[in-house]
Chains A and B, each alone.
Chain A
Amino acid sequence: MNRRIGVYICHCGLNIASVVNVEKLTEYVKELEDVVIARNYPYMCSDPGQEIIKKDIKEYNLTNVVVAACSPTMHGPTFQKACEEAGLNPYMFQMVNIREQVSWVTDDIEKATEKAKLLVSAAVNRVRFHQPLEKILVPVKQSILIVGGGIAGIEAALKIANSGKKVYIVEKEPSIGGRMAQLEKTFPTLDCAACILTPKMVEVASNPNITLITYAEVKEVSGYIGNYRVKVIKKPRYVDESKCIGCGLCAIRCPSKVPDKFNMGLNNRRAIYMMFPQAVPRKYTIDSEHCLFFTKGVCRVCEKFCPTKAVNFDQKPEEIVLEVGGIILAIGYDLFDPSVIKRYGYGRYMNVYTGLEVERLVSASGPTNGKIILRDGRTPSTIVIIHCVGSRDENYHTYCSKICCMYAMKLAHLIKERLPNSTVYELYIDIRAHGKGYEEFYRKVQEEGVIFIRGKAAEVAEVGNGRLSVIFEDTLLGRVQSIEADMVILATAAEPRKDAKELARLFRVPLDKDGFFLEKHPKLAPVSTVSKGVFVAGACQGPKDIPDSVAQGAAAASEALALLSSGVIEVEPIIAEVNKNLCSGCRICISTCPYGAAVYDAESKTATIQEVLCQGCGTCVASCPSGARTLKQRGFTDEQILGELEMILPKPKIKMKAVA
């Protein structure tokens, strides 16, 4: 076939042109075989740049286009589209990265130009073996799965449901609400957390487009963007959700007392319980680990007293299969366990608390109904709050947890409000009050008489009678000091959920170095992931306060809606293909395919690749014993790859004969 290739070299402003001699490169490329036209231009990706390509395709009747510019993940699709608009099949195009792989990694003009020459000539020699490919269109299932029913998940669910699409929320706990439900007030406006969250939770429960699956976990994920199949295991509540009216008679009678996880273990709940008074759904759950019937085989008191006969000890785990178009992960965060920092004495000294414990302590619905009473029954008069416990510390978490400064100040405010005669100290390294109204809140707390001391606490020691001594250096005075306190509060770091790793594996979403879900691009694609059709929202992507989590929930919803409303998605045709005439039907490819795309066709006794399932990983191609002519990877055929190598590898070269 007679090839007519056009080559376009981008200056990328000075990004490329300051290191690669683009004029020399263009002259060199013009001499290559089959190259009809070679040009360079300051910004190939700009409209006029694309126009040049389009005009040339028509004028010179080009069969192939090579663009040497930035990374193909950046502008590959831009130029493919330009080719398509000029009537050329987009797969007759090849991109060369002479920015990230050439100009950005060296200052040596000579060597850079040489390397650029090699790469461009390799692409020219490759592109001549390209075949036109057609994109595969797949319909998108019109529903979304949201994993996690915290504020980010709730916001995303409501946005999607209100636009008329179906949403499934899978929540691990018996109630939605997440971390926000545990909070008393929210900084900096001091709204009552429950007052602003509960209406949203009720809306979730009453929205006909939302299916709420609580006390459940995702076990298996298969499929691909637009067509995910998710297996969910709903743990047995041992209470029939359709019958339970949430009257609470069962819990009153239940004899088994268990530390209340929701209240951070500060008081006890019963083995049959509702997480918190505003729980959604308003249903009771039996904690089978502590229920006397499950541990000792006796009791069943709750069953006797239930007026609607909702208690059912025979419930079994239920498997639910969901078919959805897209997935939003909003699993939230865990709090750092400060007992590993031995010198702060958490777990050893009873009056050392974590921030979230104090949050429950000051909460009107908490274990003390909002009264600040220490574990030894005293009311504290001197309180020290230690910042950066587990954050900004290379021994634990290097990152700044972003929310601790603000919640520490909020707690200081609440303590001052409840105990006006108390003295509250904040030991900080730097105050990070970055959000809207946050700096003002900092000032307000300072003016309320909270004493801010710049210095990280070195040690907390007990001095008798439950009183504690905190030793630190006041770094602004340059003096080592100690404060005797009744209560020490540790502003602990936010860290990834314990099961984030497992979910990351299930949904094929990478984790960042700290273990949070990795977004596709930190600035330009903050809620997308490299796993297409899987989005992230809230603190599972990195520590986040409520405003940011809500914003991300809404952003993830809009990404998910864009996916659903497109109706069909284009799947890259860069996939494997079987030559039925050569296939011996050995089925090795079927056993190696990680996506279940290769199947055995009994009729023709050969392997078949299911187009929409194939991700183009190439595993089957490499495993095929009768070679790549039998099982071929479109877009990465032997001719194409060898053609590329022929120009890059040093001479003397092996003469390749084109088979295409």
Chain B
Amino acid sequence: MNVQITHLINSDKKIHAVVEKCIQCGTCSASCPLNQYMDYTPRQLIALVREGMIDEALKSRTSWLCSTCYLCAVRCPVKINIGDFMTSLKRYAIKNGYSDNLPYSKLTKTYVDLVNKYGRISETKLIITFSLKTNPLKLLKMLPLSAKLLREGILSLSLEKVKNIQEIRT
């Protein structure tokens, strides 16, 4: 186990507040629309962090699947903002190299890079860049579907760009 990260997370006040408050009722897990794809339920993720199994928590794909819909936070009986907890975990994972080989983090990174570069998002560009990074063969598989979508005008090949993007960059 990485002692340094364990220490970092334990001294993170935001994460600390979450793991201290949780009563492990499971409302968040059962409310999560993506729970079936997770390896650990959100409740279990909190338990892992609480018990110091940080390594395992950061390797989990749960936080990467979180779409921050905040249904869990709305229902949580002890008012934990689980969405923010997931975001914090993701940040730790990125900073400490846990996410380098995970497809979810690559997707997130591609998305953010696109937004940074163009100020807008283009599905076509996103999927192509992402697939090239992970599994280029998948692109071939998607061709028939994308042809259909193109014909219906749902998918666009043009790349929109925000004018004077440097003005809105922080």
Contact = CB atoms under 8 A, between A and B. Distances in A.
B23 A392 contact: yes
B128 interface: no
Contact of A455 (B30, B36, B78): B30
A474 B30 CA distance: 9
B78 A394 contact: yes
Contacts of B31: 458-459, 471
A194 interface: no
B26 A473 contact: yes
Nearest to A387: B25
A270 interface: no
A21 B41 CA distance: 56
A475 B29 CA distance: 9
A118 B51 CA distance: 50
B44 interface: yes
Contacts of A475: 24-26, 29, 43
A343 interface: yes
A394 B77 contact: yes
B75 A478 contact: no
Given A473-B41, A475-B25, A480 B30 contact: yes
B39 to A, nearest CB: 10
A459 B30 CA distance: 8
B41 to A, nearest CB: 6
Interface in B74-91: 75, 77-79
B77 A458 contact: no
A4 B36 CA distance: 82
A342 to B, nearest CB: 10
Given A392-B23, A429-B23, A473-B43, A480 B29 contact: yes
A479 B39 CA distance: 10
Interface in A491-508: none
A480 B41 contact: yes
B131 interface: no
Contacts of A388: 25, 77
A480 to B, nearest CB: 5
Given A429-B25, A473-B29, A393 B77 contact: yes
A70 interface: no
Contacts of A343: 75
A520 to B, nearest CB: 31
Nearest to B26: A473
B146 interface: no
B156 interface: no
B32 to A, nearest CB: 8
Given A455-B30, A456-B26, A478 B77 contact: no
A480 B28 CA distance: 10
Interface string A449-489: 00000111111000000000001111100111000000000
A395 interface: yes
A170 to B, nearest CB: 37
B27 A456 contact: yes
A456 B77 contact: yes
Nearest to A458: B30
A458 B36 contact: no
Contacts, number: 63
A394 B40 CA distance: 25
Contacts of B27: 456-458, 473
B48 to A, nearest CB: 11
Contact of B75 (A392, A454, A458, A479): A458
Given A475-B24, A480-B35, A457 B30 contact: yes
A474 B25 CA distance: 9
A346 to B, nearest CB: 15
Given A343-B75, A472-B30, A456 B25 contact: yes
A388 B75 CA distance: 13
A4 B77 CA distance: 62
A46 to B, nearest CB: 41
Contact of B26 (A392, A393, A455): A455
A429 B27 CA distance: 10
A390 to B, nearest CB: 10
Contact of A478 (B25, B36, B40, B79): B40
Nearest to B29: A473
A456 B23 CA distance: 10
A394 B41 CA distance: 22
Interface in B34-56: 35-36, 40-41, 43-44
A473 B30 CA distance: 5
A45 B31 CA distance: 58
Nearest to A471: B30
Contacts of A457: 27, 30
A459 B26 CA distance: 12
Contacts of B75: 343, 458
Interface in B1-44: 23-27, 29-32, 35-36, 40-41, 43-44
Contacts of B24: 429, 475
Contact of A395 (B29, B30, B41, B79): B79
A473 B27 CA distance: 7
Contacts of A459: 30-31
B17 to A, nearest CB: 13
A309 B9 CA distance: 80
A478 B30 contact: no
Contacts of A471: 30-31
Interface in B56-77: 75, 77
Most buried by B among A456, A478, A479, A480: A456
Most buried by A among B26, B27, B41: B26
Given A458-B31, A459-B31, A480-B41, A472 B26 contact: yes
Most buried by A among B25, B27, B36, B78: B25
A456 to B, nearest CB: 4
24 contacts: A388-B25, A388-B77, A393-B78, A394-B79, A429-B24, A429-B25, A456-B25, A456-B26, A456-B30, A457-B30, A459-B30, A459-B31, A471-B30, A472-B30, A473-B26, A475-B24, A475-B25, A475-B29, A478-B41, A478-B43, A480-B26, A480-B32, A480-B35, A480-B41
Interface of A: 343, 388, 392-395, 429, 454-459, 471-475, 478-480
Given A429-B24, A455-B30, 13 more contacts: A394-B78, A395-B79, A429-B23, A456-B30, A457-B30, A458-B30, A459-B30, A471-B30, A473-B27, A473-B30, A475-B29, A480-B26, A480-B35
Interface of B: 23-27, 29-32, 35-36, 40-41, 43-44, 75, 77-79
Q: Which 8 A-B pairs have the closest CB atoms?
A: A473-B26, A458-B30, A393-B77, A456-B25, A473-B29, A455-B26, A458-B31, A475-B26
